[in-house]
Chain A
Amino acid sequence: MELERPLPAPITPETRPFWDGLKEGKLLLPRCDDTGQAFFYPRAVSPFTHSRNISWIEASGKGTLYSFEILHRPFVREVKTPLPYVLAMVQLEEGARMLSNLINVEPDPQVIRCDMPVEVVFHKLNDDVTLPLFQPAS
């Protein structure tokens, strides 16, 4: 079956727990244990203290829309989502930012606002991969 999106690749050892968590419906974030601060993307050393003291926490899945775009022509043709759709930068409650899509919303700049509350939606691509998408918070 043809997938509706490209699979995230190549997944590396330090990012594997993030993708494994999503399969179980959990949005996991790496946290620097020295400072207690979460960060994203996952990496081998803390971006704050450069130590290896990193553990994984489950994020609330809540945040705000830091910025957005409304895509009218495809740049990644393997993404089959009907145009126009919304490209999103989400600021998670825990402090980290990630890119995603804002779904279940009218793709209209009069409707979508920076800083609007959003919440994660787990979007299963196949048995191995689930993507974290976001929608306006209920």
Chain B
Amino acid sequence: MKGLSNSVCIVGVDESDAIGVLPNTSQLALHLEAISNAVRDAGLQVSDVDGIFTAGQHSPALLGEALGLTPRYVDGTSVGGCSFMIMVEHAMLALHHGLCDVAVISHGESGRSGVGVTRGRDASLSGQFETPFGFGGAPTYFGLITTRHMHDYGTTLEQWAQVAVSTRAWAGLNPKAMYRDPLTVAEVLNSRPICYPFNILNICLVTDAGGAVVLTRADRAKDCAKKPVYVRGTGEGTEHVMVTQMKGLPLSEATRVSGKRAFEMAGVEPGDFDHVMLYDAFTSGPPIMLESLGMCEPGEGVTFFEAGRSTPGGSLPINTNGGGLSYTHSGMYGIFPILEATRQLRGECGARQVPNASLSLVNGMGGMLSAAGTLVLSNVA
């Protein structure tokens, strides 16, 4: 495992040409824009790409076809929004063993406008045991995890709201974020109830967006356009699909497993990070992830989001792009935390730059903390 650490680098990242509400851009176009932009960011050509990784409705074969490529390595692992984080690990293995030389991980989702989207998927178990009772849509599942967390640890609606407030403060510094006006705890608590314990401001945006990440082996990365970002550690895990099967609810076993390997591979401790990106589909997600990762004791995750810690200028900045809560969330958000961590480690983030950021934790979930992907990224080998 130590041989994998720092063996590959992220050399290119970018969004699609635009993100937000894009009624005139197809899902496939979001992919193709993101890939071409990220490859340009790396100083490479699309024709250099020989490994394609994607999750969602479009197969890696379709992306290859649309780009006129014949990839020699493809991966379509689809375990939810963290699939793109997991694919960094998969790409690392393929690159390390020479099965491909330039890997691109791509996300494109017309989650809001539904342009070029096909509905419908296998829902056998959900259709029997969840839908008839009114369960459907992420808030109706993640709320169960959140309510139980409040019962077990005494966490409060005010504490969850603080996550939204902190994240919005960062969004205010990101020109690409959809919502940038400052937010207060009271505004979150008084926003429209959706599914207790969630009001609308506890829940992520629904947008159209693409994003892509380009990786290559560390020796070749030095020749790329930007400062390489080393993949120092990776982890992944899955536990369940149906929330009833989440044994340690409200804590996530998939996240624990994923984080453990990533930290071991990287040779880091929870206290070593100076920047953190967590998949925030809901305000309760990031604190529960921090607890599941062992960054703190169960029930203490919310304390990370107090002013002066996660917030701009704070001691441990979290979700500095404005997150799924305020920047963008197309559906499978997991590519975007990787973009932001890379940009922070390159020092490209302008007003929201974390001074001297050198070690970034990226962690995401698929489904309802069902799957997890963890990355430890650094700008030094």
Binding site for B on A (CB under 8 A): 5-12, 15, 19, 40-41, 66-76, 79, 81, 84-85, 87-89, 97-101, 109, 113-115, 125, 131, 133
Contact = CB atoms under 8 A, between A and B. Distances in A.
Contacts of A72: 192-196
Interface stretch (B242-250, B257-265, B296-304, B331-339): B242-250
Given A99-B135, A99-B244, A114-B147, A69 B130 contact: no
Interface in B95-115: none
Contacts, number: 116
B226 interface: no
A116 B192 CA distance: 27
Interface in B131-178: 131-137, 139-140, 143-145, 147-148, 151
Given A41-B129, A67-B148, 5 more contacts: A41-B242, A69-B144, A69-B195, A75-B137, A133-B133
A10 B195 contact: no
Given A10-B124, A67-B144, A79 B132 contact: yes
Contact of A87 (B144, B148, B193): B144
B128 A40 contact: no
A76 B135 contact: yes
B145 A67 contact: yes
Contacts of A113: 151
Nearest to A88: B133
Interface centre among A11, A19, A75, A113 (most CB of B within 10 A): A75
- Chain B residues touching A, range: 20 to 34
Contacts of B245: 97
A101 B145 contact: no
A76 B134 contact: yes
Contacts of A79: 132-134
13 contacts: A6-B131, A40-B244, A66-B249, A68-B144, A69-B144, A71-B196, A76-B134, A87-B134, A87-B195, A89-B244, A98-B244, A99-B243, A113-B151
A113 B148 CA distance: 10
Nearest to A7: B132
B133 A131 contact: yes
A3 B55 CA distance: 36
A69 B147 CA distance: 7
A8 B128 contact: yes
Interface in B248-283: 249
B116 interface: no
A101 B129 CA distance: 11
